[in-house]
Chain A
């Protein structure tokens, strides 16, 4: 059997369609409140300077807001935490605009469009917004991007002996890319993962590689969300956390692999 990675969840942030924050989402995921579909609400990133705040794209907004929510929930200092940002791709609105310009008679692009085309644009704005000079990682693994980010955050926390922030996020694909990759809306999950238990710890998380099929969500609307937005392949983990009872779920990763995720609650072992 594969090696087990362990950490403690210190804080959670969530923004998804119909799930505006973790407090609301926890009730829905635990079955205490019915799910009501609604477009994702993305707050303007208050920490960015005014010009950048106004221009911040939806993918930057969802990444920063879900990361900051997790940091706030954990009572952590963003400047001290390595950050792992994982998304299936970069800002697709910007990509379409760039490619339209490059296909036109005048292929001169705007410098802002160019630097906003990067996969690590949200990580760059994360640093500018929080002032964090800690390492940040930007990666992707298509529909396995949540699990790839979770693994990276767990090994980063273990190797740096520092609580590490995971931000898994995606944003909608506009036409004409939508026809090939129908991601309908933006969503983000933030998790602060500590290598040691603390008084703030919400649960202990243990992760190993397996090949069991991914856990499905019983509510068809939530299951549709899990499949529609790659970052939300992490929802079964958040459902375990919301339930408050020990359990195990499997998350999509890269076939034939999936991640077996176990949560335990209660006082940290001495």
Chain B
């Protein structure tokens, strides 16, 4: 029982990290219709840059901010310099997937070239411990959960209460129609790439705070867990991604506790494959189809 409770506690933390990443992934996929296989490497690169800054400043806030800003800038740049021009050139979705894969390869190896192949250790002081119900969290673990919750709330406000959020939802549903309604679709896409990069950077920081030891390719496997969360929630569904992330986080940690940590991610992978085979629209697809947040 203690094992279960402990693994649920870990599950909440993992779910928070996955949620940050999955919401960013799903927004970007839903609105730009590009399956970005470089997402994991953007996450890894952001975490690496943030780690470098943290090593020199020892400032936890700087760690978060640098990760987010770097992720946002990198993502924006990838779209502006590579993806956007290729789309305008008429490159097939087939070609674009390969391009994002190649971008991931480039980013990962740039980190390798600069940082080397060794493991990096990032130690954020865990801070005080808090007892919440049957579970105990450190301050740094709580900060991850809080960051995720705050970001989700902020995103909710942006999506539902602002002109930009409406433009994003309209573009996700039907980009052509949105354009004819006077929405600057390219502008919206720029913002979405930036926003998704920001969330991706935050997820990268949260990931390395949580696991402490990482290397250039760490995020590359983790991103598959993130994608599993996004797809389980229904592609293009931010709220679905939050829910999907919660399920994935709990399932991976609980299965790690009972089956063995080597198979931790396999549970997420199996869910990903099953969802795509049985219900590609995800758990929230049916609800959302009528509500217009993509389909």
Decide whether A and B assemble into one complex: no
